[in-house]
Chain A
Amino acid sequence: MTLTGSKPATEGLLPLSDVQREIVRTAREFAANELAPHVAERDRKGEFSREPIDALGRLGFLGMLIPEEWGGNGLDTVTYLLALEEIARVDPALAVSMSVHNSLPTQLILAHGSKDLKERYLRPMAEGRMLGAFALSEAHAGSDPAALSCSAVRRGDAWVLNGAKAWVTNGGTADVVLAMARTGGSGSRGVSAFVVEPAWEGYAVGKEEKKMGLRSSNTTEIVFRDLEVPVANLLGEEGKGLAYALGALEHGRLGIAAQALGIASACLDLAVSWARDRQAFGQPIADFQGIRFLLVDLAAQIEAARALTYAAAAKKDRGEHARKEVAMAKLLASRAAMDAGVKAIQVYGGYGYMKDYPVERYFRDAKVTEIYEGTSEIQRLVIASELLDG
């Protein structure tokens, strides 16, 4: 069973422009031809491959949000999410690489980087020649990044970094890492952002994580041991790192919402076609009301999360304050992905529990969307502060 359904998932809900429809088509064709044939095997082996992300780069998908001036395509967030959702529908593990690169390090350098940093890093990243990673979390500081302890001390023309970063997506393969380290006192104001090259002495890739899902995504620890970062590679102003990072997390959260929608709609499509084909008691299980209502509720839930996600993205594109809507979108889309995984397995019955069928993989991939880029509890904290304390 394939997922080459003929229309973009968003078609009908959003009025797509010609350019958006064409971009979706490229993403969808690429996913169907280049990703779908290998995705199950890469998951089984837990094997990361650089080729698919490089191929996305050659097509332009790693510079979607970057202006043409810096080698990108100058597209809006809505268009970016449309493409990301298509990739995630087939390969959620690749989608998180794409999301991190486009949402975090590139956005941060674009927003706060000097001309020199943009020339050296942003342009090659936008053109797909360098892959980015974002290193904020530490073993003891996830939801509360202000507690991070990785240190940066000024010595002559360099900042010397020491410490370890946890769960860095693209950590073992990135060419550029946006790393947060403490340059001042405790708390959020003491953190600065650095543009780091993994090739430098003192940078080491630590443990590669073995994960429940997204198994073909590369998630590693990274370790800094007297890593000397030239002062020119301090991003923006000293002490503003965490504020910058939290600002970029809005794009990140929308990216994860789109990834979750991709997972959810893949599960729905698979469950619908399974329900039509699978017979029980002499009829397709799709004819039983119990199955029909299950699928109906799921379809409605996904469409609602999708509508909110694209509305939040459009609000951001208009330059309006969208912190609350973005957090809501991530909260609901990740929930939809989890529910879709559970329900798709239910509709598949025993087959759904088997590794031979794709739904258990989507189910394993779905869970992390409720965890990274802010857990669901953190999204609720964000929404609560906007709703109640504003």
Chain B
Amino acid sequence: MKIVVCIKQVPERDARLRIASDGKSVDTAGVATEINESDQYALEAGLRVAEKVGGEVVALLLGPDAAEEAIRRALAMGAARAIHLNDAGFQGGDASSAAKALAAAVRQESPDLVLTGLQSDDAGWSQTGVILAQLLGWPSATLIMEIEQPEDGRIKVKRELEAGWFQWITLPLPAVLTIQSGIYPVRYATLKGIMGAKKKEMKKMGPADVGVDGGQVGAAGRKVELKRLYVPEKTAEAEILEGDAATAAASLVDRLQKEAKVL
């Protein structure tokens, strides 16, 4: 079984981020990075399926040279090889232009299963996986919490719904699944894995190599334009709710519902 896992490199969770001088992006200079959290889980899920039924995991990443670090990590964790969509033509896109590039690379590989993370921790669109499935014309399911061993060209998965509900569904393969964080504990890259990664194939590809029109991908192919990135302003306002406990609590619930809209 061939499994493609799409991974993205993002700033580390507790990195101190600054907005770049263009006002539209994050200044990545000196910022430590990691594989996007839910993509790490996707990789873990892919490796587990491949270990059970046999086969290989191919890591697929779209990003600049610096993203090689994430690829090396994926190889160290157990991916058999990697494809790096790395070309100026791929840069500056949105979820849909990224999905177009990924779809082109996936078509060339024709895997049985594609896994992506549920969402990226930087842009957070939660779109790339589902757009990718749509472009491929493959069935897809989101928010996957468990994967059963594929059988007879079908795969049974558990989806997370709202309010503690789950749903089991079966999809025909090939399919695209977007994986929820926490599905299985993510393995550490072992020292043997890290050293073995040096010998694995890391293929760098541009739009022409994957057979996609340059106008469809990267900045040229995007449908969403980011106008401004800013840090929410902090205000130092505080309000003291008056009255006894019952009155104050009622007033608090009211505000949480109507003003803050969190209840």
Contacts and interface: CB of A to CB of B under 8 A. Distances in A.
Interface of A: 2, 4-7, 18-19, 21-23, 25-26, 29-30, 58-61, 63-64, 73, 75
Nearest to A5: B14
Given A26-B188, A59-B190, A19 B195 contact: yes
Contacts of B188: 26, 29-30, 59
A323 B26 CA distance: 48
B190 A7 contact: no
Given A7-B32, A22-B189, 14 more contacts: A4-B14, A6-B12, A19-B198, A26-B190, A26-B191, A30-B188, A59-B188, A59-B191, A60-B190, A60-B191, A60-B192, A73-B191, A73-B195, A75-B191
Contacts of A29: 188
User: Chain A CB within 10 Å — which of B15, B73, B191 has the most?
Assistant: B191
Interface of B: 12, 14-15, 31-32, 69, 72-73, 76, 188-192, 194-195, 197-198
24 contacts: A2-B14, A4-B14, A5-B14, A6-B12, A6-B14, A6-B32, A19-B194, A19-B198, A22-B72, A22-B73, A23-B191, A26-B188, A26-B189, A26-B190, A26-B191, A26-B194, A29-B188, A30-B188, A59-B190, A59-B191, A61-B191, A63-B191, A73-B195, A75-B191
Contacts of B73: 22, 25
A-B CB proximity, top 6 nearest: A60-B191, A6-B32, A22-B194, A6-B12, A73-B191, A59-B190
B34 to A, nearest CB: 8
A64 B195 CA distance: 11
Contacts, number: 47
Nearest to B11: A6
A18 B195 CA distance: 10
A23 B194 contact: yes
A3 to B, nearest CB: 11
A89 B83 CA distance: 36
Contacts of B31: 6
A303 B157 CA distance: 51
B179 to A, nearest CB: 19
B261 to A, nearest CB: 31
Contacts of B194: 19, 22-23, 26
A99 to B, nearest CB: 16
A61 B192 CA distance: 10
Given A6-B32, A19-B198, A22-B73, A73 B192 contact: yes
B255 to A, nearest CB: 29
A70 to B, nearest CB: 14
Contacts of A19: 194-195, 198
Nearest to B198: A19
Nearest to B33: A6
A73 B190 CA distance: 10
A73 B73 CA distance: 18
A29 B188 CA distance: 8
Nearest to A2: B14
Contacts of B15: 6
Contacts of A18: 69, 72, 198
Contacts of A21: 69
Contacts of A2: 14
